Amino acid sequence: MFGLVALALMGATAVLMLLRKRILRRFKNLEAVRRVHVAVASLAGLFLVLHVAYFITWPINLEILLGYVSAALALVVWLTGMAFLERFRDSLYFHGSLSLSGISLMVIHSASAGLNVPFAVAELVLLGTTFTVVFKSVQYIGKLRAGVARR
Protein backbone atom coordinates (compact mmCIF):
# COMPACT_ATOMS: atom_id res chain seq x y z
CA MET A 1 0.00 0.00 0.00
CA PHE A 2 2.88 2.38 0.77
CA GLY A 3 4.16 2.06 -2.79
CA LEU A 4 0.79 2.85 -4.35
CA VAL A 5 0.39 5.92 -2.12
CA ALA A 6 3.91 7.06 -3.10
CA LEU A 7 3.13 6.57 -6.78
CA ALA A 8 -0.18 8.43 -6.47
CA LEU A 9 1.50 11.34 -4.69
CA MET A 10 4.27 11.48 -7.30
CA GLY A 11 1.64 11.50 -10.01
CA ALA A 12 -0.14 14.29 -8.15
CA THR A 13 3.03 16.41 -8.18
CA ALA A 14 3.33 15.85 -11.92
CA VAL A 15 -0.30 16.84 -12.49
CA LEU A 16 0.22 19.89 -10.28
CA MET A 17 3.09 21.00 -12.50
CA LEU A 18 1.14 20.28 -15.69
CA LEU A 19 -1.66 22.51 -14.42
CA ARG A 20 0.72 25.11 -12.98
CA LYS A 21 -0.25 27.91 -15.40
CA ARG A 22 -3.95 27.47 -14.71
CA ILE A 23 -3.36 27.34 -10.97
CA LEU A 24 -1.20 30.47 -11.12
CA ARG A 25 -3.85 32.34 -13.09
CA ARG A 26 -6.38 31.56 -10.39
CA PHE A 27 -4.31 31.98 -7.21
CA LYS A 28 -1.44 34.24 -8.44
CA ASN A 29 1.04 32.86 -5.89
CA LEU A 30 4.03 31.03 -7.36
CA GLU A 31 5.64 30.49 -3.97
CA ALA A 32 2.53 28.71 -2.64
CA VAL A 33 2.44 26.42 -5.70
CA ARG A 34 6.11 25.55 -5.14
CA ARG A 35 5.53 24.88 -1.44
CA VAL A 36 2.58 22.58 -2.18
CA HIS A 37 4.67 20.77 -4.81
CA VAL A 38 7.56 20.28 -2.38
CA ALA A 39 5.21 19.16 0.42
CA VAL A 40 3.42 16.59 -1.74
CA ALA A 41 6.74 15.37 -3.19
CA SER A 42 8.15 15.03 0.35
CA LEU A 43 5.17 12.93 1.39
CA ALA A 44 5.69 10.80 -1.72
CA GLY A 45 9.33 10.32 -0.74
CA LEU A 46 8.32 9.32 2.78
CA PHE A 47 5.92 6.68 1.49
CA LEU A 48 8.53 5.47 -0.99
CA VAL A 49 11.04 4.99 1.82
CA LEU A 50 8.42 3.12 3.87
CA HIS A 51 7.65 0.92 0.85
CA VAL A 52 11.31 0.06 0.26
CA ALA A 53 11.90 -0.54 3.98
CA TYR A 54 8.98 -2.98 4.13
CA PHE A 55 10.09 -5.01 1.11
CA ILE A 56 13.87 -4.81 1.54
CA THR A 57 14.11 -8.45 2.68
CA TRP A 58 12.29 -9.92 -0.30
CA PRO A 59 14.37 -11.93 -2.77
CA ILE A 60 15.55 -9.98 -5.80
CA ASN A 61 13.94 -10.59 -9.16
CA LEU A 62 13.70 -8.36 -12.25
CA GLU A 63 10.50 -6.64 -11.12
CA ILE A 64 11.88 -5.81 -7.68
CA LEU A 65 15.19 -4.69 -9.15
CA LEU A 66 13.22 -2.33 -11.40
CA GLY A 67 11.62 -0.92 -8.27
CA TYR A 68 15.02 -0.27 -6.69
CA VAL A 69 16.21 1.45 -9.87
CA SER A 70 13.12 3.65 -9.92
CA ALA A 71 13.62 4.50 -6.22
CA ALA A 72 17.22 5.53 -6.95
CA LEU A 73 15.97 7.61 -9.86
CA ALA A 74 13.47 9.26 -7.51
CA LEU A 75 16.43 10.37 -5.39
CA VAL A 76 18.06 11.91 -8.47
CA VAL A 77 14.75 13.63 -9.31
CA TRP A 78 14.70 15.05 -5.79
CA LEU A 79 18.26 16.37 -6.23
CA THR A 80 17.43 18.02 -9.57
CA GLY A 81 14.35 19.58 -7.98
CA MET A 82 16.50 21.01 -5.21
CA ALA A 83 18.95 22.25 -7.86
CA PHE A 84 16.07 24.07 -9.56
CA LEU A 85 15.11 25.73 -6.30
CA GLU A 86 18.74 26.86 -6.01
CA ARG A 87 18.43 28.33 -9.54
CA PHE A 88 20.88 26.03 -11.33
CA ARG A 89 20.71 26.41 -15.09
CA ASP A 90 18.74 23.76 -17.05
CA SER A 91 17.95 21.79 -13.88
CA LEU A 92 14.21 22.06 -14.50
CA TYR A 93 14.60 20.32 -17.87
CA PHE A 94 16.41 17.41 -16.22
CA HIS A 95 13.95 17.39 -13.32
CA GLY A 96 10.97 17.07 -15.66
CA SER A 97 12.44 14.44 -17.93
CA LEU A 98 13.81 12.36 -15.06
CA SER A 99 10.46 12.63 -13.25
CA LEU A 100 8.73 11.20 -16.29
CA SER A 101 11.25 8.36 -16.44
CA GLY A 102 11.02 7.65 -12.71
CA ILE A 103 7.23 7.60 -12.58
CA SER A 104 7.17 5.41 -15.70
CA LEU A 105 9.56 2.92 -14.13
CA MET A 106 7.45 2.87 -10.97
CA VAL A 107 4.29 2.18 -12.97
CA ILE A 108 6.04 -0.63 -14.84
CA HIS A 109 7.38 -1.99 -11.52
CA SER A 110 3.93 -1.98 -9.93
CA ALA A 111 2.27 -3.54 -12.97
CA SER A 112 4.86 -6.31 -13.28
CA ALA A 113 5.53 -7.03 -9.60
CA GLY A 114 1.92 -6.93 -8.45
CA LEU A 115 0.73 -10.41 -7.63
CA ASN A 116 -2.95 -9.55 -7.96
CA VAL A 117 -2.80 -7.45 -11.16
CA PRO A 118 -4.57 -9.18 -14.06
CA PHE A 119 -2.36 -9.65 -17.12
CA ALA A 120 -4.65 -7.60 -19.39
CA VAL A 121 -4.61 -4.66 -16.96
CA ALA A 122 -0.82 -4.86 -16.69
CA GLU A 123 -0.54 -4.81 -20.49
CA LEU A 124 -2.80 -1.75 -20.73
CA VAL A 125 -0.77 0.06 -18.07
CA LEU A 126 2.48 -0.78 -19.85
CA LEU A 127 1.12 0.33 -23.24
CA GLY A 128 -0.22 3.57 -21.79
CA THR A 129 3.07 4.26 -20.03
CA THR A 130 5.03 3.56 -23.21
CA PHE A 131 2.80 5.90 -25.23
CA THR A 132 3.12 8.67 -22.65
CA VAL A 133 6.91 8.35 -22.42
CA VAL A 134 7.35 8.40 -26.20
CA PHE A 135 4.98 11.39 -26.56
CA LYS A 136 6.66 13.43 -23.81
CA SER A 137 10.14 12.45 -25.01
CA VAL A 138 9.34 13.84 -28.46
CA GLN A 139 8.20 17.07 -26.79
CA TYR A 140 11.38 17.29 -24.70
CA ILE A 141 13.56 16.66 -27.76
CA GLY A 142 11.71 19.47 -29.54
CA LYS A 143 12.38 21.83 -26.61
CA LEU A 144 16.02 20.76 -26.53
CA ARG A 145 16.45 21.43 -30.26
CA ALA A 146 14.75 24.80 -29.94
CA GLY A 147 17.09 25.72 -27.06
CA VAL A 148 20.17 24.66 -29.02
CA ALA A 149 18.99 26.59 -32.08
CA ARG A 150 18.68 29.80 -30.01
CA ARG A 151 22.24 29.52 -28.72
pLDDT of the residue at 85: 67
Task: Encode pLDDT of 7-38 as tens digits.
Answer: 888 888 878 887 888 888 888 888 888 888 88
| pLDDT in 10s for each residue of the chain, 151 residues | 788 888 888 888 878 887 888 888 888 888 888 888 889 988 988 898 888 888 888 888 888 888 888 888 878 877 777 777 667 666 666 676 677 777 777 777 777 776 666 777 777 777 877 787 788 778 777 877 776 666 6
HEC string of the chain equals CHHHHHHHHHHHHHHHHHCHHHHHHHHCCHHHHHHHHHHHHHHHHHHHHHHHHHHCCCCCCHHHHHHHHHHHHHHHHHHHHHHHHCCCCCHHHHHHHHHHHHHHHHHHHHHHHCCCCCHHHHHHHHHHHHHHHHHHHHHHHHHHHHHHHHC
Whether pTM exceeds 0.85: no
